[in-house]
Every structure is written in C-alpha cells, then in structure tokens.
Structure 1
Amino acid sequence: MAKIKKGDLVQVISGASQARGGDRGKQGKVLEVLVERNRVVVEGVNFVTKHERVGQTQRGTRTGGLETVEAPIHISNVALVDPDTKKPTRVGHRVETKTVDGVSKTVRVRYAKKSGKDL
C-alpha cells in the first residue's frame, strides 16, 4: 500500500532551505504520483521554467513562450503531514474489519504516527 497518495498534504524534508532559495519546509498538496519513477509532483514546490514552442490557435491567439510548472521530486524527500499537529510524520498501516451490508471485509488503513516532540 502506498504511503503517499494523490491529494495528500506533504512537506519537503530535504534539500536547500527557503533562505537559500530552496523548497525545504514548504507544504503542498500532491498533484500526481509517478509510481514507476518513485516521484511525486507537489503543488507550489520545485518550479522549473519550460520553453513552449510559439504557435497559433484556430482563433488566432498566440501560444507558447516561457512557462513555469512544478517538476517531480523524489518521494523520499517528502513526508506526510499529520492533520492534527500540521507537522511532518511517518505513516503506518493497521488492519481493520469493516462490515458493509452484512459482509465483513478486512482492509488496510493508513494512519499518521505521532510526530514532533510528543513521542
């Protein structure tokens, strides 16, 4: 089971600090998970400039130029944010049994472990 999924709130835990122009400490929502490459795209983190070829649409408006988009970041460089404390935390799994319409199912559920100084 994946520890980080699309839509999760994560924090960058490694790299250059924000004072040095980096992204460490920034929090953002996961826009995309690239499983084969072990990378995630996080909203507002790791911006790169793309050069888009200039073209025209059928209406005659010009497209292209310079675009800034979020680039993928390695999954080991982000940590899931605990919804209670708003601090990065580790992720655990527990097995629960749920009953739906009289049928019991065993499912694995993600949960945030304790984070910060309260360990």
Structure 2
Amino acid sequence: MKRTLIIGATSNPSRYAYLAAQKLRNYGHPIILVGRKKGSALGEEIHLEKTNWEDVDTVTLYINPSHQPEYYDYIVSLNPKRVIFNPGTENPDFKNILLAKNIIPIEGCTLVMLSIGQY
C-alpha cells in the first residue's frame, strides 16, 4: 500500500480531493490530509501545518499552481517516490524541481489511476 499525502484536502464531499481520499482509502492506501482550511474528511483531520510525515510514497496535488510554490520545499523534504499533478494542477516549474531531486512527476488523475489499476 502506498501512503499518500493529499495536498488540497477538503471536507466538501463534492470536491475531487475528497473523492480521491475516499477512493484511496477504499483501495487500502493510508492517507494524510493537508489543506488550506481546518476541518476533517472521512474521520481524518485536515492538517494546516506542514508536518514532516515519514514514509510518504505519493503526494497528490489538488491545489492551483499559483499556491504550489509555498509547498515546494515541504514536498521535496518528504522525499516521496512521486508527485501526481491532477488536472488543473500541472506546473512545469515544479515538475523540473522534482526531476532534479529524483522524484517522479506524473500528470494524471488519481481517481482514474486507481480505477484502471495504475496507481
């Protein structure tokens, strides 16, 4: 199972970040939720602070590229194997930073990847 950090997590069940959290959990992947607003989703706290979590395999992004620079150093410091840029989060500058740190950037959709067995 791949421990996944969701950045842009939300308590709103109609948002893709919430649906991804739900589906990741249904597939047995442990989740960590980080968001811009305090709350909870699926019984998990949405963290506002950038905690140094251990054993993060994947970071999946649900935040606009204009908000991503404040997370660059944080994500790199977690040393995940990959970062998924969900639709609307694509960011060539961050992609290049990740490649330089040997972190795999993936432009894809977490929900689709799970559905087709490519997560």
Return the structure number with greater strand share.
Answer: 1
TM-score (normalizing by structure 2): 0.23
TM-score (normalizing by structure 1): 0.23
Return the structure number with greater helix share.
Answer: 2
Greater RCO structure (CA 8 Å; 6+ sep) = 2
